[in-house]
Amino acid sequence: MPQTTDPNPAPGTAPGTLTFLFTDLARSTRLWEQFPDAMSAALARHDGILRGAIEASGGRVVKTTGDGMMAVFDRAADAAAPAPAKPANTVAGRIAAVGSNVSKTRIGELVTALIQGGGYAQFAVADSALALPWPTGLTAVAAAALPEALFTAWYNIFVRMRLAEGERLLIHGGTSGVASVAMQALSAMGITVFATSGTEEKRVAALGFGAAAAFNYHAPDLAGQVVSASAGEGVDAILDTSAGAHIEADLQMLGVEGRICHLSTGERREMAVPLRAVMAKRASITGSLLRPLPLAEKRVVARRLLDEVWPLIERGRVRPPIAAVFPLSEAVRAHSMMEEGRHIGKIMLSV
């Protein structure tokens, strides 16, 4: 069962660089039996998008049978309504087919890949450079937990914030899916990482993921604790998954010429920033979205991950913590667990 491609693919996509990732075609029959109306609507709406993308890439058309993600997220929608954004940017599986510019020797290769949405399915499309080797000894669930977390962390920490050797980094939400993986890699690379969490259990877990120090972000003297832990200097960079909830404390704990990078808006669309504090610290505030990032930049990140992080994964230094695994048919439950915010690590779907 395939996942359609994004009708607005990332700029710079080269013809023939698409890869199809195969997981378990047999289970598609059961999904069709469980959600016949939604699956039929999904087929009518999205089948042409996938075919067009494959043909444009010079690849071969794989027979399409529907969109598994739609069985859950569009089950009540009118068939004529606009398609929603397709969730899930990361998958793991076996390459089933390749475009004309990709060596056919890659067919059958086990990979984990960053994709442009559509991971809630049994087929997905990825640029060949973003289909990375499935690390030895990892399950499919663990392998699939890696790409989005590591691409997000590497791009925002080393590209957006230009973290340099000897600098300190703080990550808000130290047990999130991104932070729990990224801190293991960063600490193994010799980088000093601090973390914040909302409970004592999560604070202790963040230390286990490699944080040099971890703090409860509810503490009224959060900034003072961080400054004390950094010998009075503050941190050089802050990776913020909290939608700017701690912006005043962030600027207090930030060193001169420090950088803050936002990964989420949460429920807010605007953020009040104390400009005098920004000016006094000569601080830079930035942020990014992973999907719209140009393909060329994602390919650069992929090469850096292969060189710097994949060897650490192969040596067992990085292992994604899995909080829970749900079957695709229970994706709504998985999202509810995510919204509750009590989990530690990654919540995964099994297709």
For domain 149-287, give the fold.
Answer: Rossmann fold (3.40.50)
pLDDT at 212: 98
Taking the C-alpha atoms of residue 1 and residue 329, their distance in angstroms, rounded to an integer, is: 14
Q: Do domains 18-146+298-350 and 149-287 have the same CATH topology?
A: no
Q: What is the pTM of this model?
A: 0.77
pLDDT at 37: 54
**Contact status, residue 16 vs residue 137, Cβ threshold 8 Å:** no
Q: Where are the domains of the chain?
A: 18-146+298-350, 149-287
Joined together, the tokens standing for residue 175 give 């047990």
**Cα torsion angle, 331, 118, 90, 98, sign:** positive
* H helix runs in 105-176, sequence order: 140-144, 147-154
Buried b (16+ CB within 10 A) or exposed e, 151-170: bbbbbbbbbbbebeeebbbb
Taking the C-alpha atoms of residue 309 and residue 298, their distance in angstroms, rounded to an integer, is: 15
pLDDT at 299: 97
Q: What are residue 240's DSSP bridge partners?
A: 262
Chain segment 28-64, per-residue pLDDT in tens = 334 444 545 554 454 444 444 444 443 443 333 222 2
Taking the C-alpha atoms of residue 99 and residue 44, their distance in angstroms, rounded to an integer, is: 24
* Cα angle 348-72-60, degrees, rounded to a multiple of 5: 80
User: How buried is 338 (Cβ within 10 angstroms: 0-12 exposed, 13-18 middle, 19+ buried)?
Assistant: middle
**Cα torsion angle, 260, 261, 266, 269, sign:** positive
Q: Position of tokens 């695709």? A: 328
pLDDT at 76: 28
**Amino acid letter, 198:** G
pLDDT at 226: 98
Residues of the chain predicted below pLDDT 70: 1-86
Pairing of strands 192-197, 254-262: unpaired
Taking the C-alpha atoms of residue 267 and residue 338, their distance in angstroms, rounded to an integer, is: 15
pLDDT at 16: 34
Q: Any residues with CB less than 8 A from the CB of 342 and at least 6 apart, and which?
A: none
**Contact status, residue 283 vs residue 260, Cβ threshold 8 Å:** yes
Closest CA to 115 of 229, 230, 251, 23: 23
pLDDT at 62: 27
- What CATH number does domain 18-146+298-350 carry, 3.90.380.10, 3.90.550.10, 3.90.180.10, 3.40.50.360? 3.90.180.10
pLDDT at 52: 45
Joined together, the tokens standing for residue 117 give 């949405």
Determine phi and psi for 172, rounding to 5 degrees. Answer: -80, 135
pLDDT at 36: 52
pLDDT at 56: 42
pLDDT at 89: 87
